[in-house]
Structure 1
Amino acid sequence: MDTLEAIHTRRSIRKYTDRPVSQELVTELLRAAMSAPSAVNSQPWVFIVIDDRKLLEEIPTFSPYAGMCREASLAILICGDTTQEKVPGYWVQDCSAATQNLLLAAHAVGVGAVWTGIYPIKDRIEGFRKAFGLPEHVIPLAFVPIGYPAQTPGPQDRYREEKVYHNRYGQKKK
Structure 2
Amino acid sequence: MDVFKAVSSRLEIREFADKPVPDEVKLRVLEAARLSPSGVNTQHWRFILVDDKKALRELADMSTTGKWVGDAAFAVIVLTDPKYPFHRLDAGRVISSMQLVAWEDGVGSRIYTGIDEQRMRGRFGIPQSLEITAVVGFGYPKRRVLGRKNRLPLEKVAFQGRYGEPLSLKH
TM range (shorter): 0.7 to 0.9
Structure 2, unmatched stretches of 5+, are none
In structure 1, the residue matched to 2:67 is 67
Verify: 1:116 aligned to 2:112, yes or no: yes
Q: 2:156 aligns with which of 154, 162, 167?
A: 162
Q: In 2, Cα distance between the equivalents of 1:96 and 1:132?
A: 22
RMSD: 2.0
List per-residue Cα deviations over 1:60-110 (Å, max 9, x = no partner).
33312212112111111111135xx7xx21111112100110011111111
Structure 1 segment 127-166 matched on structure 2, within 5 A = 127-151=119-143, 152-156=145-149, 158-160=151-153, 161-166=155-160
TM-score, L = length of structure 1: 0.84
Letter in 2 for 1:63: S
**CA apart distance, 1:3:** 0.5
Q: In 1, Cα distance between the equivalents of 2:93 and 2:118?
A: 23
Structure 1 segment 4-153 matched on structure 2, within 5 A = 4-82=4-82, 88-118=84-114, 124-151=116-143, 152-153=145-146
Q: In 2, Cα distance between the equivalents of 1:157 and 1:56?
A: 30
TM-score, L = length of structure 2: 0.86
Q: In 2, Cα distance between the equivalents of 1:104 and 1:10?
A: 8
Q: In 2, Cα distance between the equivalents of 1:46 and 1:138?
A: 9
**CA apart distance, 1:59:** 2.3
Q: In 2, Cα distance between the equivalents of 1:27 and 1:173?
A: 41
Contact conserved, 1:44 with 1:95, CA < 8 A, in 2? no
Letter in 1 for 2:141: P
Larger mean CA deviation between 151-160 and 41-50 belongs to 151-160
SS in 1 for 2:35: coil
How many corresponding residue pairs? 166
Structure 1, unmatched stretches of 5+, are none
Contact conserved, 1:125 with 1:139, CA < 8 A, in 2? no
Q: In 2, Cα distance between the equivalents of 1:21 and 1:52?
A: 12
Letter in 2 for 1:129: R
SS in 1 for 2:40: helix
List per-residue Cα deviations over 1:9-47 (Å, max 9, x = no partner).
011112111111122211111111222111111111111
**Between the two proteins, what is the percent identity of the paired residues?**
31
Letter in 2 for 1:39: G
Contact conserved, 1:80 with 1:139, CA < 8 A, in 2? yes
Larger mean CA deviation between 59-68 and 16-25 belongs to 59-68
